[in-house]
């Protein structure tokens, strides 16, 4: 299943020259039970040469927010309420992949589990994102 054109159009307008674009985040697949995006390590490192923990948080929040928006599409609204991240191991190069799956998608709150892995498939960070949602 592909992301609906109305959502793609909205995302294009939102992503233009925004943080997600500057960080190289790309949504690669979506279905109702899973949203996937990639992000390069290059350009998103902290001073020691590892992927910045804040970059993991941006990837996780992007995935959770987009998943919530897709849940209430085409006319709903979302706002992030909470994001927690645990960084398990450093990523030093290549691309990381975030996989977002719903834990709960209700009429008022949606919560997502996000797992970020390195190019070798090793868990580098895990996150949980909760959004307030409003279905119109």
pLDDT given for residue 9 in this prediction: 56
Please state which of the four CATH numbers 3.40.50.720, 3.30.70.3340, 2.60.40.10, 3.10.129.10 is assigned to the domain occupying 5-134: 3.10.129.10
Q: How sure is the predictor about 106, in pLDDT bands with cuts at 50, 70 and 90? A: very high
- For the cut 60, the answer to whether the pLDDT of residue 10 exceeds it is no
Predicted structure pTM score: 0.89
Please provide the distance, in angstroms rounded to a whole number, between the alpha carbons at the two ends of the chain: 23
Would you list the domain boundaries of the chain? 5-134
Active site residues: 61
Q: What is the pLDDT averaged over residues 125-129?
A: 98
DSSP alpha helix (H) spans, 41-135 = 53-72
pLDDT given for residue 11 in this prediction: 57
List, in order, residues 6 or more apart from 122 with CB less than 8 Å away. Answer: 89
Q: How sure is the predictor about 111, in pLDDT bands with cuts at 50, 70 and 90? A: very high
Cβ atoms 131, 64 nearer than 8 A: yes
């Amino acid at each position: 299943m592909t992301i609906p054109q109305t959502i793609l159009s909205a995302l294009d307008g939102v992503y233009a020259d925004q943080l997600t674009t500057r960080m190289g985040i790309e949504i690669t697949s979506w279905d109702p039970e899973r949203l996937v995006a990639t992000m390069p390590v290059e350009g998103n490192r902290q001073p020691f040469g590892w992927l910045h923990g804040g970059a993991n948080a941006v990837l996780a929040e992007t995935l959770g927010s987009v998943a919530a928006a897709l849940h209430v599409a085409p006319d709903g609204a979302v706002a992030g309420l909470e994001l927690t991240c645990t960084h398990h191991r450093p990523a030093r190069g290549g691309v990381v992949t975030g996989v977002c799956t719903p834990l709960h998608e209700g009429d008022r709150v949606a919560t997502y589990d996000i797992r970020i892995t390195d190019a070798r498939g090793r868990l580098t960070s895990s996150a949980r994102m909760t959004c307030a949602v409003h279905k119109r």
